[in-house]
Amino acid sequence: MSNLENLRKQAKQYLRWHREQYYPVAAIIREYLPRFRQFSDPEILAAEFRLMDAQELVARKEGFAGWQALRNGANTAMSETKQSAQPILTSIAAHLFVRDLKTSIDFFTAKLGFTVDFVYGDPSFYAQVSRDHASLALRHVDVPVFAEGVREREDLVAASITLASADEIKQLFLTYQASSVPFHQLLRKEPWGAKTFIVKDPDGNLILFAGPAN
């Protein structure tokens, strides 16, 4: 199957999700289509969304200005590469288990500077927050997943987030410290040459931040 055919299928999938009122697709539409940038999730799901809109979304996600530009680029790429090219993994999101979804979202947005990508369910049970290229999925659970105290005792990190420079990780640590963010571990230099600190969220999840020491 050609790459362009896969992209066509992606566009039809986004169109189908919108018609089915699949809540997470609203955040994707808002991110990549400027005309929906100021719309809320319900407004996006209620708005007209056609196949050409879905195709434009796919094109913009691939780094093209529009569907025609993507088609030209995809055709060129297909003529220059082998059909047996391996799939490319483009992103990863850690999953955190939380008892109160709203409290968790408030913590990551107000304290850690993340933004909400989407909240799903009625009542809500799943959400995603992100900051720059780091994404965290939040999943509501009714009972604790870990035995009490085991994460702190064993330093069981739920997510690792990296920064590009020593100045950035120091600045982020000081910002969090000034905001009274709870730490499991303060900023320190590790034996392997990195600087790290660990934040503890309201549910006891440990999030490691790491960057170069120099």
pLDDT digits (tens, 9 = 90+) for 168-199: 999 999 999 999 999 999 999 998 889 999 99
For residue 121, is it within any domain? yes
> Residue 90: CB partners within 8 Å, gap ≥ 6?
none
Structural domain tally of the chain? Answer: 2
> Same structural domain for residues 136 and 75?
no
> Same structural domain for residues 205 and 101?
yes
Residue 96's SS3 state is: strand
> Same structural domain for residues 179 and 98?
yes
User: What's the first-to-final CA gap in the chain, in angstroms?
Assistant: 47
Domain closes at, from 50, 80, 110? 80
- pLDDT, position 75: 55
CA-nearest of 131, 94, 92 to 206 is 94
> Same structural domain for residues 67 and 133?
no
- Please give the sequence-ordered ranges of beta strands (E in DSSP) within 84-123, or none if there are none: 93-98, 115-121
205 band by pLDDT with thresholds 50, 70 and 90: very high
For residue 86, is it within any domain? no
pLDDT digits (tens, 9 = 90+) for 91-127: 778 999 999 999 999 999 999 999 998 999 889 999 9
Residue 160 has pLDDT above 70, yes or no: yes
* pTM of this structure: 0.62
For residue 124, is it within any domain? yes
For residue 52, is it within any domain? yes
Domain of 73 in residue numbering reads as 3-80
